[in-house]
Amino acid sequence: MRDVLDRIGDKWSVLVVAMLGIERMRFNELKRSIDGISQRMLTLTLKALERDGLVTRTAYPTIPPRVEYELTELGRTLLAPITALAAWARQNRDAVEEARDKYDAKLARRARSARAAEERAGATGRA
């Protein structure tokens, strides 16, 4: 089960499935649509999704060759959970960012306290 969750939980896989849920796409269309993905990572992601039976790759005998990717029936079953996850992320983004800010501020306070304690200990040792 873990290997399947690793695949469908990977951020690039989620984004590729979401984009292919809209329409079949060519490689460069996907690359332009997914901010931050490298050509190598998109290639690896598409191959892994194809291996897992979630994406099909169709090559057309044209010059230059044209290749399109689309979701399989199995891949389409991922659209509902991915859509729900995206909706949750949109609804809770502000709360998550607020929690991160609080956590980071707490860590910064701890670091300042630790530095101040070290400085006091160093000053006491020199006196």
Question: Residue 69 corresponds to which amino acid?
Answer: Y
What is the predicted pLDDT for the residue at 120?
Answer: 84
Specify the residue for token string 């269309």: 29
Mean pLDDT of the chain: 91
| Contact (Cβ atoms closer than 8 angstroms) between residue 118 and residue 125 | no
127 pLDDT more than 60: no
Q: How many residues does the chain have?
A: 127
Tell me phi and psi for residue 54, to 5 degrees: -95, -20
What is the predicted pLDDT for the residue at 126?
Answer: 61
Rg (CA), the chain: 23
Tell me phi and psi for residue 59, to 5 degrees: -100, 130
SS3 52: coil
Give the H or E element holding residue 115: helix 79-126
27 pLDDT more than 70: yes
What percentage of the chain carries pLDDT values higher than 70?
A: 97
43 pLDDT more than 80: yes
β-sheet with 66-71: strand ranges across: 25-26, 66-71, 55-60
- Average pLDDT estimate for 100-118: 93
For the whole prediction, is pTM greater than 0.85?
no
**Per-residue pLDDT tens over the stretch 58-104:** 999 999 889 999 999 999 999 999 889 889 989 999 999 999 999 99
